[in-house]
Amino acid sequence: MFNRRTMMALVIGTSLLSATGLALAKNAHHNNGHNLLGEKIHKNGKHEIGKIGANAVVAEVSNNKVTGMSAGNLPVKRFKSAKKMAGLNGDKLQVAANGEIKLAQMDTSYYAYCFDTGIDLECYWYPATDIVVTDPWSPYPY
């Protein structure tokens, strides 16, 4: 049979595990970085596309591609997803045909720069055509 110490250890261990799970959960907010950047994607330099609290969200553009993003001193994480997380229209195709049509398999990927505020995760998503991919990007876990 369980004694008092074993029961107390089980209760404390369970509460610590559940509290850790709650602390890891973040409120993710998905923004369409492509639309927020708009025509600025054709101009090299740093462009402000939003704010997170008092921090300005800045996209760095070079040769019609986003090369990096920053938001003050907030830590940035880079994620990749096959799922469309924000309202991006880069994968729509209109076709008018009389007969059968076969399309090659498209590898549609979306890339995000996410900023961790401690409570929220603010993500700015772009289609693969808007991003310079140099290093490996983590799969989006949420």
Q: For 42-70, what is the mean pLDDT?
A: 94
Answer with the residue of higher pLDDT: 81 or 103. Answer: 81
Which pLDDT tens digit goes with each residue over 99-128?
A: 555 555 455 789 999 999 999 999 999 999
> What are the sequence ranges of the domains in the chain?
26-139
Q: Name the burial class of residue 110, with classes exposed (0-12), middle (13-18) and buried (19+) by CB atoms within 10 angstroms of its CB.
A: buried
Answer with the residue of higher pLDDT: 122 or 18. Answer: 122
Query: How high is the pLDDT of residue 21?
Result: 42
Query: How high is the pLDDT of residue 85?
Result: 73
Q: Tell me the two tokens of residue 84.
A: 């469309």
Provide the mean pLDDT of the chain. Answer: 79
3-state secondary structure the chain: CCCHHHHHHHHHHHHHHHHHHHHHCCEEEEEEHHHHHHHHHHCCEEEEEEEECCEEEEEEEECCEEEEEEECCCCEEEEEECCCCCCCCCCCCCCCCCCCCCCCCCCCCEEEEEEECCCEEEEEEEEHHHECCCCCCEECCC
**How many angstroms separate the CA atoms of 45 and 4, rounded?**
65
C-alpha distances in Å from residue 99, one per residue of 93, 94, 104, 106? 17, 15, 16, 21
pTM of the prediction? 0.69
Query: How high is the pLDDT of residue 83?
Result: 83
Q: For 30-55, what is the mean pLDDT?
A: 93
